[in-house]
């Protein structure tokens, strides 16, 4: 009997090696010594060319990178100072994330990313998944500008494809940092950093890349939906932010570049149908005087900002200024249907060295 069942199991493995994903469920009541089965329990493993494609713990994730259909199934915990590396994925890989994945607080600083994803034509379904970054254990009121070490949460690097439906909670600082991506769409993302103190960093930060879509997303707490900060030789060309809500955050719509970012640029930036509430610094901020320590007030044109389209930006502020634009080299700004109440408009900060940025209509 045992030999017969062992032969059947071997046949399943042979099928997996040829056919791809095969789910094998062996009742542990069989008491087969070679399989080390336990009584009255079951186990199920998916094999793709004899490699498990389901990760139910942190240590199992590296093996799944050899699969084209990956499931990351929580709940489980990522140890302190550990990272999830999903770079170098096979072209066309599909990933499903379910359950809650919790990242234990560690001592990594902002030069580190807790999750990195890269590959071509990657599809990620996170509609039943949650990434929790233990944000309240990091939040000290200083964000990325000081205090204790805080890592960035999710880095999308050299990635194309779609990420849909994922819920991200408790980001230590930046939630999504995007670099070198082309043809990337983020849709239906919920970014929730609620706590007694709201002091997270950017909901989205696009540092370089092209044709990036961020739509139908919710950002609670943080520094807003950002393009930048642009540093030397970083180019952002084509960002489309649509139908998003930003609430209880420092800023709403944000484009930022360092004054000395030679070789950098931000162009063809589109924000549309953005709902704001509880914004307390700036609803709209476009600046070429950015530093991590704060605006200098003196813009530089080393990284030109051009072709910026803002349409249907509406909502309320609790305090602060509705618009802050500080440019040395900005061209072709087009703002339509901007309706923001509360706070004030500070157009005295609008500095234009070359051509004017275009029409600006804010009540």
Task: Report the catalytic residues.
Answer: 223
CA dihedral 45, 100, 152, 233 (to 10 degrees): 60
Look at strands 204-206 and 225-230 and give their pairing: parallel
Distance between CA 63 and CA 358 in Å, rounded? 52
Q: What share of the chain is helix, strand, coil (3-state, %, to 5)?
A: 10, 50, 40
Specify the 3-state DSSP secondary structure of 298.
coil
User: Residues with Cβ < 8 Å from 14, sequence gap 6 or more?
Assistant: none
**Which residues on neighbouring strands pair with residue 131, listed in sequence order?**
101, 168
Residue 257 in tokens: 């570049």
Q: Is 20 exposed, middle or buried (0-12, 13-18, 19+ CB in 10 A)?
A: middle
Cis ω before 178 (30° cut-off from 0): no
């Amino acid at each position: 009997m045992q030999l017969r069942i062992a032969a059947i199991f071997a046949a399943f493995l042979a099928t997996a090696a040829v056919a791809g994903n095969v789910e094998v469920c062996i009742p542990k009541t069989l008491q087969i010594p070679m399989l080390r089965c336990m009584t009255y329990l079951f186990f199920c493993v998916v094999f793709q060319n004899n490699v498990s494609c389901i990760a139910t713990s942190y240590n199992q994730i590296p093996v799944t990178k050899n699969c084209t259909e990956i499931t990351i199934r929580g709940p489980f915990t990522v140890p302190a100072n550990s990272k999830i590396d999903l770079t170098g994925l096979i072209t066309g890989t599909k990933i499903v994330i379910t359950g809650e994945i919790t990242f234990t607080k560690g001592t990594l600083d902002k030069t580190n990313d807790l999750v990195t994803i890269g590959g071509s034509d990657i599809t990620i379904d996170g509609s039943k998944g949650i990434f929790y970054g233990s944000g309240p254990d990091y939040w000290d009121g200083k964000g990325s500008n000081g205090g204790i070490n805080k890592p960035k949460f999710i880095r999308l690097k050299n990635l194309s494809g779609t990420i849909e439906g994922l819920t991200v909670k408790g980001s230590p600082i930046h939630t999504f940092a995007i670099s070198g991506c082309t043809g990337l769409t983020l849709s239906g993302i919920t970014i929730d950093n609620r706590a007694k103190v709201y002091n997270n960093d950017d909901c989205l930060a696009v540092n370089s890349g092209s044709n990036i879509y961020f739509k139908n997303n919710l950002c609670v707490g943080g520094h807003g939906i950002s393009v930048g900060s642009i540093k030397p030789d970083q180019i952002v060309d084509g960002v489309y932010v649509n139908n998003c809500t930003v609430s209880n955050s420092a800023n709403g719509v944000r484009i930022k570049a360092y004054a000395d970012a030679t070789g950098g640029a931000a162009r063809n930036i589109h924000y549309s149908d953005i709902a704001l509430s509880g914004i307390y610094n700036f609803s709209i901020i476009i600046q070429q005087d950015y530093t991590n320590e704060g605006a200098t007030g003196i813009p530089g044109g080393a990284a030109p900002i051009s072709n910026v389209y803002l349409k249907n930006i509406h909502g309320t502020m609790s305090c602060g200024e509705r618009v802050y634009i500080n440019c040395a080299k900005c061209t072709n700004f087009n703002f339509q249907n901007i309706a923001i109440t509360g706070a004030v408009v500070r157009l005295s900060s609008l500095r234009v060295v070359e051509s004017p940025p275009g029409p600006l209509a804010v009540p």
